[in-house]
C-alpha cells in the first residue's frame, strides 16, 4: 500500500508516494521551490501541482513548518504569517478533493525515523532535530511523540536557536564547519539542560554531509544521523494518514 507524502519547507516542497509497510519511496520524489511569498493559497497551488505528478489516490499526508493543532496552523516558521489560524487540512482537502492529514514537519520526520530509521526500538527520550532553513524538533518518550515542540525558537545567547545554528545560517554567514559545529553544540547542550535525552537524531538536507560536522559536535548525548535522510518528512507525512504512532 502506498500513500502520497508531501513535505513543505521554507525553501522547497517535495513529495512522493510511500510504501507504508517498508517506509520507502516507491517513485522518485518531485520537488518544487516554495513560492515567495509562501501564502497558504500559493503553497496549496504548489501541492496540487506536485500531487498531479503521481498517479496516487486516497489520503495525502502533508508536513508543514508550523505548530498544528486539529489541522489548524498556530505558528508560521519560514512561511507567510497568513498561515497562522489557517485550517490547512480543510484548505488542502478542498483543493485536492481527497482526505488530508496535516502535521508539523519535524514531527513527521521523527515519526519516520522512530518507525524505520535511527530511532527504531530506541527507548527513553529521543530528540530529532531537522537542520534546514530553520531548526525543527520532535521529541519521543519511550516511542510516544510529544507533538509540536519548538526548540528551534529557544533563546541561545540572545537569538533564536535557528537564527544561530540552522543550515541556512551556516550558508548565509559562510561559516566553517567548525564554527557551525560550535553553534549546533550550543543548541544540543541547551536542550540537554531541559530534557536529558538518551539520543539525538540529526536530519534535514545537511545530514547528507554528516561526516563534516557530526564529529565536531560536543554534548553528553549520543548523536546520530537520520537514516532516511531528507526523505524522512515525506515518509512520516504518509505514515500519519494511517494513524501511525511510534
Alpha carbon distance 230, 203 (integer Å):
7
57: pLDDT confidence band, cut at 50, 70 and 90?
A: confident
**Are 2-107+231-240 and 121-227 equal in CATH topology?**
yes
Q: Which residue's C-alpha cell is 531537522?
A: 130
- For domain 2-107+231-240, give the fold: Nucleotidyltransferase; domain 5 (3.30.420)
pTM for the predicted model, two decimal places: 0.94
Distance CA 76, CA 136 (A): 12
Query: pLDDT tens digits for 71-92?
Result: 999 999 889 999 999 999 999 9
Answer whether 109's CB lies under 8 Å from 128's CB: yes
pLDDT at 246 > cutoff 70: no
Tell me the average pLDDT across 107-115: 97
What CATH class is the domain 121-227?
alpha beta
Percentage of the chain with pLDDT > 90?
92
Domain extent listing, the chain:
2-107+231-240, 121-227
Q: Which spans in 31-124 are helix H?
A: 40-51, 88-96, 105-116
User: How would residue 242 be classed by pLDDT, with cut points 50, 70 and 90?
Assistant: confident
pLDDT in tens, 195-238: 999 999 999 989 999 999 999 999 999 999 999 998 999 999 99
pLDDT at res. 244: 62
Residue 144: left if φ>0, alpha if ψ -120 to 50, beta else—which one?
A: beta
| Position 188 pLDDT exceeds 60 | yes
Amino acid at each position: 500500500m502506498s500513500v502520497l507524502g508531501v513535505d513543505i519547507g521554507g525553501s522547497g516542497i517535495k513529495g512522493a508516494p510511500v510504501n507504508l509497510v517498508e517506509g520507502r519511496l516507491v517513485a522518485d520524489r518531485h520537488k518544487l521551490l516554495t513560492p515567495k511569498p509562501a501564502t497558504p493559497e500559493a503553497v496549496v497551488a504548489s501541492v496540487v501541482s506536485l500531487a498531479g505528478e503521481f498517479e496516487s489516490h486516497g489520503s495525502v499526508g502533508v508536513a508543514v513548518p508550523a505548530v498544528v493543532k486539529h489541522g489548524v496552523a498556530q505558528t508560521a516558521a519560514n512561511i507567510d504569517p497568513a498561515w497562522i489560524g489557517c485550517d490547512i487540512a480543510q484548505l488542502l482537502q478542498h483543493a485536492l478533493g481527497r482526505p488530508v492529514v496535516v502535521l508539523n514537519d519535524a514531527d513527521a520526520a521523527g515519526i519516520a525515523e522512530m518507525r524505520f530509521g535511527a530511532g527504531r526500538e530506541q527507548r527513553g527520550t529521543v530528540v530529532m532535530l531537522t537542520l534546514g532553513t530553520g531548526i525543527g524538533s520532535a521529541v519521543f518518550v519511550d516511542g510516544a511523540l510529544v507533538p509540536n515542540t519548538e526548540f528551534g525558537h529557544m533563546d541561545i545567547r540572545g537569538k533564536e536557536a535557528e537564527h544561530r545554528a540552522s543550515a541556512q545560517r551556516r550558508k548565509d554567514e559562510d561559516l566553517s564547519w567548525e564554527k557551525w559545529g560550535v553553534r549546533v553544540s550550543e543548541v544540543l547542550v541547551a536542550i540537554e539542560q531541559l530534557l536529558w535525552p538518551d539520543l539525538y537524531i540529526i536530519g534535514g538536507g545537511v545530514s547528507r554531509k554528516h561526516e563534516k560536522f557530526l564529529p565536531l559536535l560536543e554534548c553528553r548525548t549520543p548523536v546520530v544521523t537520520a537514516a532516511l535522510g531528507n526523505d524522512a518528512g515525506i515518509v512520516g507525512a504518509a505514515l500519519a494518514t494511517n494513524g501511525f504512532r511510534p
